[in-house]
């Protein structure tokens, strides 16, 4: 009883301390800090929606989302977002096809086969790759990758989707590799040991046990990497060109949504013009793309998550 009484007395004494007021302020301060990201998101949404509505008051909403003709600088401008969407998708598809096998292969090696010494060498290299500025990637694409592709196929132009897509793929490899490796490493060793104990080989255990168990994290890493590729700006601005077209040709110049935003913000549009407000309509479309990808990532993570 004496012990319980002393503990209660100490609690009451601590509550009556001068520091109790500061203690009560801590949750308020943390709430304010947490609210900053929420308020920033609300501010971004308000800006995009309000300015996009101004654009659609001047231009046809139906034409914007159904037309594939993007000619904002002509005497009779046409705003068909599908020309920019197709440019974005061409780069993203090429980047995904290139990056997923390499990133997943790197994750499998690091998680299942690499020694501790190999991990200490390879993981820092991947981290360095993730830290390279995207403008450097852009110059690498146009000065090295494009000439190399032209040496293989002369019909490819200086600005093209292949070069931009490959380099965007290089950029997202560390994200896929790192997140997938984390997902695979979280699979308990007892699962691997059980598989090996039943007579499965190392390869069978990796592909039939570990990968299915980590599929939630792997798919989420790919979706997040694709979202990153959709929003990439500098690489596509430098290496892909600025010619909007909705064709499936990947060897010629194109323009992505982010590339158009960069072009407009560089001073090509007069404030208050339809061209100026089209910037926000394109930005809103890009926001919806990345928002949907993040929703898919969260759904996949919850739907296929394995609890251990």
Task: Spell out the domain ranges in the chain.
Answer: 78-303
| pLDDT recorded at residue 1 | 47
Cβ-contact 150, 156 below 8 angstroms: yes
**How is residue 233 written in tokens?**
């700006």
Whether the Cβ atoms of residue 99 and residue 129 lie closer than 8 Å to each other: no
Pick the CATH number of 78-303 from 1.25.40.10, 3.40.50.10490, 1.10.3720.10, 3.20.20.70: 1.10.3720.10
Q: What is the pLDDT along the chain (308 residues), one digit of tens a residue?
A: 445 556 666 666 665 555 556 677 888 888 888 888 889 889 988 988 988 998 888 888 888 888 888 888 877 888 889 999 999 999 999 999 999 999 999 999 988 888 888 888 888 888 888 788 888 999 999 999 999 999 888 888 889 999 999 999 999 999 999 889 888 888 888 888 888 888 888 888 888 888 888 888 898 889 889 988 988 888 998 988 888 888 888 888 888 898 888 888 776 677 778 888 888 999 999 988 888 888 887 787 777 666 55
Distance of CA 200 to the CA centre of its chain: 36
Determine the Cα–Cα distance for residues 166 and 141; give it in Å rounded to an integer.
8
**Which among 298, 283, 244, 219 is positioned nearest to 90, based on CA atoms?**
244
- pLDDT computed for residue 112 by the predictor: 86
Q: Where are the beta strands (DSSP E) in the chain?
A: 70-71, 78-79
Q: Which pLDDT score, from 0 to 100, does residue 18 have?
A: 52
Query: Residue 243: CA atoms inside 13 Å, Cβ hemisphere, count?
Result: 15
Residues 277, 272: Cα–Cα separation, whole Å: 7
**Secondary structure (H, E, C), 131-186:** CCCHHHHHHHHHHHHHHHHHHHCCCCCCCCHHHHHHHHHHHHHHHHHHHHHHHHHC
Whole-angstrom distance, CA of residue 94 vs CA of residue 134: 17
Give the residue carrying structure tokens 């590339």: 259
Asked whether 131 and 227 are in contact (CB, 8 A), the reply is: no
Closest C-alpha to 149, from 135, 132, 137, 167: 167
148 phi, psi to nearest 5 deg = -65, -45
């Amino acid at each position: 009883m004496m012990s319980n009484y002393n503990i209660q007395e100490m609690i009451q004494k601590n509550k009556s301390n001068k520091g109790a007021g500061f203690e009560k302020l801590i949750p308020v301060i943390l709430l304010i800090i947490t609210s900053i990201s929420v308020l920033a998101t609300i501010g971004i949404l308000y800006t995009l929606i309000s300015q996009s509505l101004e654009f659609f008051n001047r231009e046809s909403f139906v034409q914007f989302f159904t037309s594939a003709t993007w000619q904002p600088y002509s005497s009779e401008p046409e705003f068909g977002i599908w020309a920019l969407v197709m440019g974005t998708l061409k780069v993203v598809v090429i980047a995904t096809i290139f990056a997923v096998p390499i990133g997943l292969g790197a994750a499998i090696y690091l998680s299942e086969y690499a020694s501790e010494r190999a991990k200490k060498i390879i993981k820092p290299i991947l981290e360095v790759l993730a830290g390279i500025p995207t403008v450097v990637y852009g110059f690498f694409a146009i000065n090295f990758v494009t000439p190399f592709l032209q040496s293989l196929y002369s019909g490819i132009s200086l600005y093209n989707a292949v070069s931009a897509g490959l380099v965007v793929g290089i950029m997202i490899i560390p994200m896929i590799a790192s997140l997938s490796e984390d997902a695979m490493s979280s699979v308990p060793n007892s699962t691997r040991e059980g598989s090996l104990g039943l007579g499965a080989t190392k390869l069978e255990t990796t592909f039939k046990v570990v990968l299915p168990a980590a599929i939630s994290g792997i798919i989420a890493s790919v979706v997040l990497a694709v979202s990153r590729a959709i929003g990439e700006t500098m690489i596509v601005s430098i290496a892909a060109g600025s010619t909007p077209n909705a064709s499936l040709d990947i060897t010629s110049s194109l323009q992505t949504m982010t590339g158009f935003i960069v072009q407009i913000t560089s001073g090509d549009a007069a404030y208050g013009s339809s061209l100026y407000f089209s910037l926000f309509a394109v930005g809103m479309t890009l926001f919806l793309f990345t928002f949907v990808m993040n929703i898919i990532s969260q759904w996949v993570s919850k739907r296929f998550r394995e609890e251990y």
